[in-house]
Structure 1
Amino acid sequence: MGTAVGLRSAGRRWALGSRGICYLGIAAIAWGMVTRVEVGAWTYHYSAEGDYVWEQARNFCQTFFTDLVAIQNKQEIEYLNQILPLHRHYYWIGIRKLGGTWTWVGTRKALTKEAENWAAGEPNNRRSNQDCVEMYIKRPQESGKWNDEPCNKKKKALCYQASCQPFPCSQRGECVETIGSYRCECYPGFHGPECEDVVRCAELKPKGARMNCSHPYGDFSYNSTCVFGCQEGFERQGEGTLRCLPSQQWSAETPTCTAVTCPVLRAPDRGELNCSHLHGNFTFGSTCAFSCQTGFVLMGPETRECTATGTWTGDAPRCEAIACPVLNAPVQGKLNCSHLHRDFAFGSKCAFSCQTGFVLMGLESRECTVTGTWTGDSPRCEAITCPVLNAPNQGKLNCSHLHGDFTFGSTCAFSCQTGFALMGLESRECTATGTWTGDAPRCEAIACPVIRAPVRGEMNCSHLHGNFTFGSTCAFSCQAGFVLTGLESRECTATGTWTGDTPQCKAITCPVLNTPNQGKLNCSHLHADFAFGSTCAFSCQTGFVLMGPETRECTAAGIWTGDAPRCEAVACPVLSAPDWGELNCSHLHGNFTFGSTCAFSCQTGFVLMGPETRECMATGMWTGDTPRCEAITCPVLSAPDWGEMNCSHLHGDFTFSSTCAFSCQTGFVLMGPETRECTDTGTWTGDTPQCKAISCPVLDPPSRGQLSCSHVHGNFTYNSTCTFSCKEGFLRMGAEVLQCEATGNWTRHPPVCAEDGAPFLKQVLAYSSGTALALASIVLAGTLIALLAKRLSNREEKKKLLNPTSDLGSPGIFTNAAYDANL
């Protein structure tokens, strides 16, 4: 297994830290293939027989001992360099580069600058895999130094065995190697040889606070934790959590609970405060009562209590003066108040007075008492009176009384009856002195302008209140041969104007004549437009003919001679749509008459030959010639090379809707659309198709042979022929000539070139059927091999004659079964 050397270690820690060394005697012990040198506690070991890569060396140490050695002490280096044998590949130790950092693998701790023991110029890390460390033992130069090496090199494994075992010291301390044994360095909070004892703190007994503790190592011992809380209405003074420290002291003083305080309350203005305190002045549970002085009332809660949240129940109350009903100024009066505490409350005084034109009836002042009532009764203001007024003759009187009939502020408006005008003030007002403004007014009849009789007429008037004044009436009439236009009588109105307009005597009129549609009217008037004696002549516009009398005359009876004429449009022959086309007409004056316009169009795939529109003229003839619709043509198509074309024509050769179908000869495949159709744009659907020769798989020359091909339609396509031949000293096995068929397959399987000898026999056997293999197995001499080769060649030729397609399965595939059957 290995060889061990040992030395005692004073103060070496389990898998940690630096260590001091003390040397004692060494005893040699025979132990199988291992020579073990042993001392008191710490021992070193190395592999005696095998060399290992770094990972194997570490596995060896971890399997039989503790780990690869961790060396951080020059005395150990000197000792190991003295006691270990020379090995030409040296020894692996427990340092490796992890994540770019040199690390002690046993502790996963980085190598410190102070602990480095590199040889001169090391580590040079010439290659990226120099991540493991060897130690020079008995090297002529720099013995005991370190060197980085690739981890896949093989060296001796240098191991150590510790006396501390896993989980020592009750898992409450660190195991420290000693001479011949170990000792425990206890973690804080523990003591005893094996760290089995726990530090204890004084038992906690809080006053007025709740406590909840957890004791991982025993009641009130190291790491015991106690959490403190207070009852509702109390708050904690001190830390909420205490922990027992390694010093046997608690992390803080034991907390206490004190009652929550509320803000200090004060008595309201004009009031008093009376409080009772349960846990202290103005603290949780304190209750305060409120009251007010005489003449004041409490607004808000009578009592308030300090709650657990440190706030008082309710809102702060206040003392308000007792209120009296709000006073209002008397109608047409004034109110002037002085308020001692607040508006209209205890102590308020109010004085009363009246506006101009009014007199006060009652007390001049009132006061609000402690009972919330006012002294005395409410006073009032009464208006001063004026003399009663009367309406004028032919007039009216309309008065408004604000404060009583004909009193201060009363206003009287004067007006006259219809047809009369007021002379004087329109209104009078009662003043604060008891008199009316202005003098009394009167009413006089309204006058209208003087009027005269109309020309060729007479007038007769009657007057009620005076010539041409309100109520006067005048009647009008005309001489023979004229008719009165306007009112037969007019009256003088109350506005000083006559009813209606001034009448006139005018000649008798006929109905106004209108110009016929699409015609003209020319009139001459003797007395007035369209009146007795007027004459009108009629005519029509171009394209129309007059139907009725050419002239009409207004008679004394006020009617026209004859009937009203009209203008009718000239008619053209009826038009019809062309074949494969459509007709769309607009008629201004009637179907197919002067001004009618007809538009011609063709169905999809046809083109119009002739004018697009025709118009009916004033002569009754249509413009232009009759149009027609012809099918749109496409370019003439031809059959593709090595193909055929079959076309059907609906409207003419290679015109709209013509359809052509394409196909290819045997051995060719159509590339493109199978059919093409002539569209309404004059183009064919799709692209021009082509016939492309069918391709067969590309052939390669056989090994040790040649290939010669002729291609009719393209490399390795339909009807291509390929001839195979072999170099001198080789025989062709298979068909000499292969041809590409219309199916895309070759007529035969490609041949091979085989040697004329024993190796050739193996190829023949591998290529031949099972029967041929059985026959070949008995051939022992070279002469028989040659005969067999000749026979196989003859059999291949026979197969070619019997089965030209070489296929009993899929085309172009050679099978042994078919070959044997043909034989």
Structure 2
Amino acid sequence: MSLLTQFIRTYAILFLVSYLTIFTNDIHGVCRYVPDIYFAEPVEPTREHFFEEGTTLQFKCKKGFDPVPNVNNVLTCLGRTWTPHKTFCTQVLCAAPESPANGEYHPQKEEYTYLDSVTFSCQKPFQVVGDASISCTGTGEWSSNSPTCKAVNCPNPNVTNSRRLSGFIGPYTLNSAISFECDKDFVLRGSGLISCNIDSQWIPAIPLCERSESKQVLCAAPESPANGEYHPQKDEYTYLDSVTFSCQEPLEVAGDASISCTGTGEWSSNSPTCKAVNCPNPNVTNSRRLSGFIGPYTLNSAISFECDKDFVLRGSGSISCNIDSQWIPAIPLCERSESKPVNCPNPEVKNSRRLSGSFGPHTLNSVISFKCDDDFFLRGSSSITCNSDSEWVPAVPVCERKSVNCPDPHVKNSRRLSGFTGPYTLNSVILFECDEGFHLEGSSSITCNSYSEWEPAIPYCEDNTPVWKIVVIVLGVIGALAIIGFVVYKFVYKKQNRGDYHCSVKTDKFAASVEPEL
């Protein structure tokens, strides 16, 4: 037996054994990858890529989807594939918001999905009263009610014996401001700067310019408080003279620390008193202090609290001692949580800075206020609060670049479930599902961010064909080529052998027929 024949026979045996082994494993095989369902995710996250036959996975609805009653949400590995599933989660939808009279909102659609937002505007000279931008929450409700459009037009204020320093000509709409200065020998009663509010009223109230009688007006020396004094001390004071009070330690000034002589010959307020301020040491069980560890607690002393694990703060996390030796706000409580402690995640709002709530932890009723950077505008509410479900309400806002346009993403071997056509502006969402025979690598949902980029990264659909099938195909091709080569070789070899044999016979016959001469 030749070496080539031995090789082919050995290869055929190995090929047959490998194929039967793989074929058997294919029948009693495993499921590859967690099923990619755009509206749901496993209740228990897993990093496994292979699941034995009979393995079950329970799914839960993703944020922005609600479960469908009486529809199975458990998938079972059948050996090679997962059990077919029905749509057991429906997308949360918000109905179109109410359009304000004399106003409108954009974009306008019949229904909106989770995180969609609309922005309101009013016809001139009307102004938006309320949140100018609202978003669709995971409960199917808008983050706040639609605003109203209100005509704001403050009357032209007449302040006699004065001249204007700004705001010379109307109309006076929202936030229009006017500043005044009284004429010589007249005194301003009220604020020198007023602005028009949403109710078409001037705030503070329109001032007056009253004739000054300063040359004749004298105020008697104010009453000196017990355990205190004032400076400067004189027998009498003229118009606009002021005095400042102080108390002996550890007493504190209770009232206005500084008063002035008015044009009527009376002081702007009564003399203050000197009061001993000493707040009691507050005991908040199941908590730890973040500041104000040791007393005494005098005026404006502050203490900050944080509840222990599994306890929820009821009240304010920071209190201060007032002039009446009382803590304001009231001393909080740390109550045991019935389910789990309230702790909202640290919200990340790109391209913004925080005006409050810079540091966590963010417990119940914690408030954070945001302001967008330049070239960005706020989409959503500028202030959010941590609720009892450890969620921020309204939804965490975003700071959008004034011009956002993401490119149309192309994912081969897939179909789109939403976001079929552009343009794709900020927070535009596209859902993908791979064609049969392919599985998704990456997220099934991508969102256009403020940098005109898709996040997470654009996914791709990978062929489900197992590696062993590719190996079998390659081995099969190699085996077929080897067999064809062997057959060709044998055919040519035999043909050559037959030719040599006939030639040698003829030569022998010729030799036999020739007799030697004698």
TM-score when scaled to structure 1? 0.14
Greater RCO structure (CA 8 Å; 6+ sep): 2
Instruction: Name whichever structure is richer in helix by fraction.
Output: 2
Q: Kindly name which structure, 1 or 2, has the bigger radius of gyration based on alpha carbons.
A: 1
